[in-house]
Structure 1
């Protein structure tokens, strides 16, 4: 048997600075021993994006549910110069502090953070929701659909996603506006690293991975969902008629129930 040892010299020479992190939680009334879920929002979103619906719903089905705001997001400590690996560090640290082997659930660029975290934390399973992975493919679609909001991100400005990109027309306008005004921004460095970074390393322990998305997502093309799912040996589970923010859209129950149904049947990580 060949032993592979991964040396991450940068993490030894320049460790990630500790940061105060916001974690929101919902726990079931009766602990049935189910694995905890750790939700990781995409860039610009905080833990609030999952606290709106999915945390409480997961808890109502018996899963302890937690959502972390990556540094610089939500109620976490500001971090305007954080690299992508600092976000990965946040996820690994929170997951390691939970009482049982955790299921990591990432949305958007948060799914990329989860993919990198899987190489450092032996997750029970992982779910990638509307994943934004490294490369320029997603950016090309964003430039076509929302050039005014996307171009500033190429020069270090804020990536501004539109209501039409994030939500379906089914979501009431007032509710959509309430979510859009809460959006923040990722660090300039992390935004650039999403475009230019290396692919995630193989996951520790070969956890089962589910990819969720919508063929009508105006941020992540359907082809990108298929490519990410193939990376993990599966096909994406699709929810037509929904926007990029599946956890906040009008039919938010459908994807989270599918996620929880899958977890009840998914094999343990090997």
Structure 2
């Protein structure tokens, strides 16, 4: 993995400024834990974490924030926004990315010295994810092969345990976006400061194959933490509390250890 604190294009073609949507849940009283910045993938906004995980994280003592991806932004712009928001927080932040948001976090780690990082259902490899999507939802995926927007369905994002009315309400909030804007060129950079990293997912995910989870975890020196029976959107699915509690337990253990 390579490192890139500064890039030539940052000077020659700076990312345009935008008004960023950040949703926060703060800790009551004095907070002693680092803030956690949640990064959703395309189509999802800060709302996807605000539904469950933000409040739960704050109750566990971690100030929680989520950043909505900018409209029409490419991977570089989203990485820029994550770095800027994280740098503006009062303490060194933990970065948590979901889906393609995990790819954004992987790149942001090359520019921001995160306290720790968590990649949830990470889409780091577009081809395996596209193949899985074609098998699970061919009609919703075919437009993406020609530069159109990919439409994920209920079975891809949620397990049968989530009531249909809840799943449909979440699906109505998801805005499909063309995948080309989020395409990476080459491997993600080497993380600055070598922060601890955790990969979380489900072996039953119909978006991210199990082999991709294994490779992502191996890239960061570990094994994936798996939650069988859940689907891609762990933060919204039935049983949502189990993965976030496991993430926060892991984080508390890492913070208690030597640096």
TM-score tier by shorter-chain length is: over 0.9
CA distance in 2, matches of 1:5, 1:200: 10
Is contact 1:167-1:242 (8 Å) kept? yes
**Corresponding residue number in structure 2 for 1:139:** 130
Distance 1:189 1:222 in 2: 23
Say which of 244, 249, 252 aligns to 1:261. Answer: 249
Partner of 1:246: 234
Q: Deviations over 1:182-239 (max 9, x none)?
A: 0013355414x15xx2110100000000000000000001110000000000000000
| Structure-2 change in CA distance of 1:86 and 1:187 (3 Å) | farther
CA distance in 1, matches of 2:131, 2:180: 19
Instruction: Provide the C-alpha distance between the structure 2 equivalents of 1:154 and 1:146, rounded to a whole number of angstroms.
Output: 13
TM-score by length of 1: 0.91
Note if 1:67 corresponds to 2:55.
no
Contact preservation (8 Å) 2:144, 2:178: no
- Residue 88 of structure 1 corresponds to which residue in structure 2? 79
1:200 corresponds in structure 2 to 188
4+ runs deviating over 4 angstroms: 4-7, 267-270
Deviation at 1:117, TM superposition (A): 0.2
2:197–2:220 Cα contact (<8 Å) kept: yes
Match of 1:218 in 2: 206
TM-score (norm 2): 0.95
Q: Does 1:184 align with 2:172?
A: no
Instruction: Say whether the 8 Å CA contact 2:5–2:110 is kept in structure 1.
Output: no
Q: For residues 269 and 190 of structure 1, what CA distance do their matches in structure 2 show?
A: 39
The structure-2 alpha-carbon separation of the partners of 1:149 and 1:7, relative to structure 1 and needing over 3 Å to count, comes to same
RMSD of the alignment, in Å? 1.6
Deviates more, 1:30-39 or 1:102-111: 30-39
What 5-or-longer segments of structure 2 have no aligned partner? none
1:48-67 alignment runs, 5 A limit = 48-67=47-66
Q: How big is each residue's C-alpha offset from its partner over 1:49-91, in whole Å with a ceiling of 9 and x where there is no partner?
A: 000000000011111000000102xxxxxx2xx2210010110
Match of 2:7 in 1: 8
Indicate conservation of the 8 Å contact 2:5/2:111, yes or no: no
Change in CA separation of 1:50 and 1:269 when aligned onto 2, cut-off 3 Å: farther
Stretches of structure 1 lacking an aligned partner (at least 5 in a row): 73-78
Query: What is the SS of the residue equivalent to 2:132?
Result: helix
